[in-house]
Structure 1
């Protein structure tokens, strides 16, 4: 059974500024350098015909993982993440897979105006196909994704402020 995830972050920056950051190759490299963990890299990046897509690889050392994840993975967690954005700048899609875990996160990211800035909402589901452990891993992944999105939102705010 899949676990639904819905996570909101807010920014004092307008939608268009946040969108421009999210589809900026330099921003993505800077974000990975700060938040990407072990062996982080921008695997691919393309922007053409009003559509931007990219693949990120991020790592979490085993010592920072909950015991249930450590026992399953037997090492570090490697996260593969693909995002696709359209030029309209209000909606994107995200797909996340993890090494050694038969499952994924699929979702939609919506940028919308909010009082004095913008609001980013990720809505999706986490599905892990492992009997007995799947639900625990889904909860752990949803929690870790929410924490990462909060950190990325803080980074985006600082990055935009430093470029302004």
Structure 2
């Protein structure tokens, strides 16, 4: 059964500035260099009016993963492909969706994302649904993957905020 994870972050910066920085091609490339792992790359970047779609490849050293996850992956690093699509929302702010696939595994994730003005700044909210189709231990693996995703989101959010202030 899929696991649902929520992530929220607030900042004093307006939603438009957070969004513009977060989806900026150069910022994405810098972020991948800093925290994308082995083989990280921006595979696709397609601006579409005020929105954008991009695909990222992340790599994770197998030694950085929980043992229950590495048992499913035959040797080598983990390769994650993540596609995000963002657009302005009719209610103000920006809405996004993401799809994540982990090569060679029965693990996937889908996310809905929102950046909106709130309390003199903005809030970045994400709901992620992780699915690991493995009998008996799938839920435990989903939980471990979910924690990794939360850590990644926190690191990426911190990076974005540093770029705004740079």
TM-score, with length taken from structure 2: 0.92
The structural deviation recorded for 1:146 is 0.4
SS at match of 2:29: helix
Cα-Cα RMSD = 1.3
Which of 137, 145, 149 aligns to 1:133? It is 137
The structural deviation recorded for 1:35 is 1.1
The 5 A counterparts of 1:57-72 are: 57-72=57-72
Contact residue 88 and residue 95 of structure 2 kept, 8 A: no
C-alpha distance in 2 between matches for 1:80 and 1:34:
17
Mark the runs of 5 or more structure 2 residues left unpaired by the alignment: none
What's the counterpart of residue 111 of structure 1?
A: 115
More displaced, 19-28 or 84-93? 84-93
Which of 92, 113, 124 aligns to 2:128? It is 124
SS at match of 1:72: coil
2:102 maps to 1:98: yes
CA deviations 1:114-156 (Å, max 9, x no partner) are 2232111111311111111211111011100000000011101
Mark the runs of 5 or more structure 1 residues left unpaired by the alignment: none
The structural deviation recorded for 1:33 is 0.9
Contact residue 51 and residue 88 of structure 2 kept, 8 A: yes
What's the counterpart of residue 45 of structure 1?
A: 45
The structural deviation recorded for 1:51 is 2.8
TM-score, with length taken from structure 1: 0.93
The structural deviation recorded for 1:10 is 1.6
Contact residue 11 and residue 153 of structure 1 kept, 8 A: no
Q: Which consecutive segments of 4 or more residues in structure 1 shift more than 4 A?
A: none
More displaced, 109-118 or 10-19? 109-118
The structural deviation recorded for 1:76 is 1.4
C-alpha distance in 2 between matches for 1:116 and 1:51:
24
Contact residue 10 and residue 119 of structure 1 kept, 8 A: yes
The structural deviation recorded for 1:25 is 0.6
SS at match of 2:72: helix
